[in-house]
Structure 1
Amino acid sequence: MQTNPASSAPAYTSLVALGDSFTEGMSDRLPDGSYRGWADLLAARMAAVTPGFRYANLAVRGKLIQQIVDEQVDRAAAMGADVITLVGGLNDTLRPKCDMNRVRDLLTEAVERLAPHCEQLVLMRSPGRQGPVLERFRPRMEALFACVDELAARHGALVVDLYGAPALGDPRLWDVDRLHLTGEGHRRVAEAVWQALGHEAEDPEWHLPPEATLPPHWAARRVEDVRFARRHLLPWIGRRLTGRSSGDGLPPKRPELLPFETA
């Protein structure tokens, strides 16, 4: 880590991001069909103020906390980055059967293995979209976030509270699949982490919802519900029933800690 004489914030020289689809960047789609997401946006900001900044993103969509521990944690620890972000366990809470004691144990293992190998570990209370899915799984999610808070206090990690941000519960910041944030949602997450790392706010009101708009008519909502069920919900249920994941066979998008070139 370098010092930055022009700012009170530490000039971190490297970032490694771990996790699932949230950190991979779904559904912040670029014109070429790839995903950007909050971690890429954060890396671009950090690279703009720190020459030679390096970035790796090991996240892969669909990963459970056991897979994150097995496939990403040791690899990230060996990179020796200044900042490591870890967001995991939410996919577990959305499964029909979820052993929360095991999820907590695995998250604890991940944090204990990562914390000694970075200057700053960043954990998050993941965002939750308002609606029936959130209400159904809220007790599990909040149990997960209580574990995140306990681990952060024990290991000196930062906690970025996205769950408590009204903006990130607003359905307008979620993609049509109702599982992933839009590009605007990812921008706000990047802003939240940027500020948590000690940088001056570019958007002090990132946590506030967009200006009110007229809700869609009943008929339009029903058409969207049918489209959502056909394109997203039924395939998701099919993968759960067959034990498959959307990330099966996919590699991380940035598997090595390499210089990040800003546009």
Structure 2
Amino acid sequence: MDQTTTAPAPFSSYLALGDSFTEGMCDDLGPDGHYRGWADRLAAALASEVDGADFRYANLAVRGKLIGQIVDEQLEQAVASGAQLVTLAGGLNDVLRPGCDIAVVQARLGEAVERLLATGATVVLFTSTDPTRRMAGGARLLPAIRQLKAFVEELGAHPRVAVVDLFSAACFDDRRLWAEDRLHLSPEGHRRVAEAVCQALGRPAAFDWRAPLPPAAPPGGWAKLRGDLRWLRIHVLPWLGRRLTGRSSGDGRPPKRPELLPFRAQDLDGEVRL
């Protein structure tokens, strides 16, 4: 019996929606001065499939956005764009805030997915990583994260919805996949998420994105204390200050790629790679 499988058809356009996760916070900087991020890396991989033919990419994600803001400020353009592929990650900023109404988060996310599917697009969604083994206070967030995860998995029953399961990937327990702020991915974390999306879309595996990093010696007691104090001073206190004053890190910030424009794999950093 012939065991060959048909390769998935390439996409000619890709649009990314979301918050800092999709904007690419804390990845290396690209040639345009913006963080690259997993979405840029994914766009480069998809562009390389069409042999220099017209491939278009937009990234509307802006750091700090809540799911309601993502839907209200980004969705209309995504629907009108006619992009063949749309990635949507949102809701975690809501979960981080006390008093989050997870039912409202689910309703807005479901609304967005329904409208995107009506355009004929393929939609990629994400489950959050499990914060309990790497973040102080992560257990407080877990019930809401699990509820949102179950809802995303329900949406994933649609044949044009692909779900990237980050929750079960134990490699993300390793702090080396996270930036100094412990909230955004490191370059290696972004590289792995880009590969995870490629595989969720049926592309052959370039590497095992779930594989653990090589063992590393844990920091000494004093080094850990200094790191924790630096984290509190540089990252936690400013974040709390913004929450208390009703501000966001994304206030007034435009998206880095606001239009669905031609994009080549080489536009990422001069070479084709994830």
* Residues 16, 58 of structure 1: 8 Å contact kept: yes
Q: Compared with structure 1, are the counterparts of its residues 38 and 7 closer, same or farther at alpha carbon in structure 2 (3 Å cutoff)?
A: farther
* Residues 174, 185 of structure 1: 8 Å contact kept: yes
Q: Compared with structure 1, are the counterparts of its residues 259 and 7 closer, same or farther at alpha carbon in structure 2 (3 Å cutoff)?
A: farther
Q: Which moved more, 1:165-174 or 1:51-60?
A: 165-174
User: Separation in 2 of the partners of 1:49 and 1:7?
Assistant: 15
User: Separation in 2 of the partners of 1:233 and 1:21?
Assistant: 16
Report how far residue 136 of structure 1 moved: 1.9
User: Separation in 2 of the partners of 1:126 and 1:56?
Assistant: 23
* Residues 83, 118 of structure 1: 8 Å contact kept: no
Q: How does 1:221-260 map to 2 (within 5 A)?
A: 221-260=224-263
- What CA deviation, in whole Å up to 9, does each residue of 1:175-196 have, x standing for no partner? 0101000000000000000111
User: Separation in 2 of the partners of 1:132 and 1:140?
Assistant: 16
* Residues 84, 118 of structure 1: 8 Å contact kept: no
The equivalent residue for 1:176 is 180
Identity of aligned residues (%): 55
* Residues 167, 208 of structure 1: 8 Å contact kept: yes
The equivalent residue for 2:168 is 164
Q: Could you say what secondary structure the match of 1:18 adopts? A: strand
Pairing 1:10–2:9 present: yes
Pairing 1:36–2:36 present: yes
Report how far residue 74 of structure 1 moved: 1.1
Q: How does 1:19-168 map to 2 (within 5 A)?
A: 19-30=18-29, 34-50=34-50, 51-129=53-131, 130-154=134-158, 156-168=160-172
- What CA deviation, in whole Å up to 9, does each residue of 1:165-211 have, x standing for no partner? 111221111001010000000000000001111111111x2112201
* Residues 125, 164 of structure 2: 8 Å contact kept: yes
The alignment of Structure 1 onto Structure 2 pairs a total of residues equal to 257
User: Separation in 2 of the partners of 1:251 and 1:169?
Assistant: 32
User: Separation in 2 of the partners of 1:169 and 1:19?
Assistant: 23
Q: Could you say what secondary structure the match of 2:61 adopts? A: coil
> Out of 201, 209, 212, which is 2:212 matched to?
209
Q: Could you say what secondary structure the match of 1:86 adopts? A: strand
The equivalent residue for 1:3 is none
Moved over 6 A (4+): none
User: Separation in 1 of the partners of 2:19 and 2:101?
Assistant: 19
User: Separation in 2 of the partners of 1:138 and 1:176?
Assistant: 22
Report how far residue 100 of structure 1 moved: 1.0
AA at the equivalent of 2:18: G
Report how far residue 128 of structure 1 moved: 3.8
Report how far residue 7 of structure 1 moved: 6.7
AA at the equivalent of 1:255: P
Q: Which moved more, 1:112-121 or 1:205-214?
A: 112-121
> Out of 189, 200, 221, which is 1:196 matched to?
200
* Residues 37, 183 of structure 1: 8 Å contact kept: yes
Report how far residue 70 of structure 1 moved: 0.2
Q: Which moved more, 1:33-42 or 1:214-223?
A: 33-42
User: Separation in 2 of the partners of 1:184 and 1:118?
Assistant: 32
Which structure 1 segments of 5+ residues have no match? 1-5
AA at the equivalent of 1:69: V
* Residues 10, 198 of structure 1: 8 Å contact kept: no
Q: Could you say what secondary structure the match of 1:153 adopts? A: coil
Q: Which moved more, 1:131-140 or 1:168-177?
A: 131-140
TM-score (norm 1): 0.94
AA at the equivalent of 1:150: E
AA at the equivalent of 1:57: N
